[in-house]
Structure 1
Amino acid sequence: MVIDFSAISVSAIDWRGAVRIIRSVFPPIDLFEDIADPADWPLIISAEQKTNPRLMETIGNLDLVPETRRIAGPGASYLMAPFTHVSTDRPNRFSDGTFGVLYVGNSFEVALFETIHHHGQFMARTNEPAGWTSQFREIVLDVSARLHDLRSQAGSWGLLLPDNYEASQALGFRLRATGSDGVVYPSVRYPDGECVGVFYPDRAANPIQGRHLDYHWNGTTVDLYRDANTGQVYRIV
């Protein structure tokens, strides 16, 4: 299917208190959390590699983020890491894994349902036993950008098929190559919710850690989540 790029409008998105949920296994990256100017990062990396040869495994591929679009300071790891740790073994809706995309929901429920879907797929694929599984953390952040708006056209081009990313990956590659900052689109996993996929970390800001969450796998699906801070358990319906 041929996508008419000229038919995709660009909309100003200004979300305060948007939500991303990530695996807690990923720790903050010291370089990104430091207040040092990103322009100085190559020199810092060169010096630190002399005592820490595995440093680049932590940082990832910094060259994937243009210098002028890098961000630093408290919480910056949550915004930088999705762009420096990419792999074609982990494709997603708008990227084949050769470049990063920061996915954010406009509410906690959107982020929750998007992540439990993908976590459930992983658990089924690896034939994991039932039980409480990996811990996740809620990241609350702001998104301010002019993004290509797919909220009215996505259905007609096959961009939001539940499990087929071919058309959306082709679109993401094309838009990013022509200077787009990302896309805004309806959530596939949570009705009436919205998501953004931004192509550069400087389109988001003010990330702070919220709740710690546990997901429960019943052998078929993720059926419960638990707020690790309070111990309260909620059923997924």
Structure 2
Amino acid sequence: MGVTIPVTPVDWTPGWRIIPSRFPPIQLFERVANPADLDAVFEIESLTNPRLRDEAGDIRLVPPEGRISGPGSSIVMAAFTHLNPEGSRFSDGTFGAFYAANDLDTAIAETKYHRARFMRATDQPRMELDMRVYLVDLAARLHDLRGLQEEFPLVYLSDDYAAGQHLASALRNQGSNGIAYDSVRRHGGECAAAFRPRLLSNCRQERHLRYAWDGKRIGAVYEKRTLDGEAG
């Protein structure tokens, strides 16, 4: 594209990620202390629990030296073992990317857009969507597209991800850790797409949200709490 992309240290403690609550934590990754043991444990347990393979995804997509395990690892690993065949802004569907935002409002804006797009595409009736918020620490040197909208207009298109996917594939093949970029859904927000699980740590659940889908759009977002004030 004729423009050199700077590589910048990004240290978010925390970053924010929101996923549908219908995706449960994958306990396989949580229970294994040493990532080197994942293949053996997965092989043994999948013989007695056929559902494990579907829940854990394809761990072969992450090379052994790049895997993580232990508390909080399941949410990180799921982004790399369950691929979206349609791809995303910085993945063509052949590799995983862990997306996070630098604040809650940006994470909500990003996920509202993508949830609403899915609901419209599948013609879903009015309903409420339960979402789970996670905090995760990100520390990595990332290719930094923040502030470069004019230099990379095709990468920043709202609904066409072809240029972003092409760029991400090229950078990843060259050993890139990932991409930091400005949010397309919230002015002033920042996002990151990490290409390696080991760049992420201390993933923990934060709160529960509910997105109100009215049949055309997500019009409101509520925080779920019990009467004693605890998130639920």
Q: Secondary structure at the match of 1:87?
A: coil
Change (3 A) 1:106 1:179: same
Equivalent residue letter for 1:203: L
- Tell me which residue corresponds to 1:194: 190
- Tell me which residue corresponds to 1:113: 109
- Tell me which residue corresponds to 1:235: none
- Tell me which residue corresponds to 1:57: 54
**Does residue 1:136 correspond to 2:131, yes or no?**
yes
Whether the 8 Å contact between 2:149 and 2:156 is mirrored in structure 1 is yes
Q: Secondary structure at the match of 1:114?
A: helix
- Tell me which residue corresponds to 1:40: 37
Determine the C-alpha separation between the residues in 2 that align with 1:227 and 1:175: 38
- Tell me which residue corresponds to 2:164: 168
- Which string of whole-angstrom CA distances, capped at 9 and with x for unpartnered residues, describes residues 136-174 of structure 1? 000011110000001133433211100000100000100
Equivalent residue letter for 2:23: F
- Which string of whole-angstrom CA distances, capped at 9 and with x for unpartnered residues, describes residues 52-109 of structure 1? 2332111111111121111111111111000000032x31001111100000000000
Whether the 8 Å contact between 2:32 and 2:38 is mirrored in structure 1 is no
**Paired-residue identity, %:** 42
Among 81, 84, 89, the alignment partner of 2:81 is 84
Equivalent residue letter for 1:174: A
Equivalent residue letter for 1:105: A
- Tell me which residue corresponds to 2:230: none
- Tell me which residue corresponds to 2:150: 155
Equivalent residue letter for 1:4: G
**Gap regions ≥5 residues in structure 2:** 228-232
Aligned residue pairs: how many?
A: 226
Q: Secondary structure at the match of 1:147?
A: strand
Q: Secondary structure at the match of 2:92?
A: coil
Q: Secondary structure at the match of 2:186?
A: coil
- Which string of whole-angstrom CA distances, capped at 9 and with x for unpartnered residues, describes residues 194-233 of structure 1? 00000011111111101111101122211101111158xx
**Runs of 4+ in structure 1 displaced over 4 angstroms?**
none
Determine the C-alpha separation between the residues in 1 that align with 2:149 and 2:90: 12
Determine the C-alpha separation between the residues in 2 that align with 1:86 and 1:165: 16
Equivalent residue letter for 2:67: R
Equivalent residue letter for 2:137: D
- Which string of whole-angstrom CA distances, capped at 9 and with x for unpartnered residues, describes residues 29-54 of structure 1? 12110142111111112221221233
**Does residue 1:183 correspond to 2:168, yes or no?**
no
Q: Secondary structure at the match of 2:47?
A: coil
Determine the C-alpha separation between the residues in 2 that align with 1:30 and 1:225: 29
- Tell me which residue corresponds to 2:208: 212
- Tell me which residue corresponds to 1:16: 13
- Tell me which residue corresponds to 1:96: 92
Alpha-carbon shift at residue 129 of structure 1 (Å): 2.0
Whether the 8 Å contact between 1:154 and 1:185 is mirrored in structure 2 is no
Equivalent residue letter for 1:151: R
For the aligned residues, what is the CA RMSD?
1.4
Determine the C-alpha separation between the residues in 2 that align with 1:79 and 1:217: 27
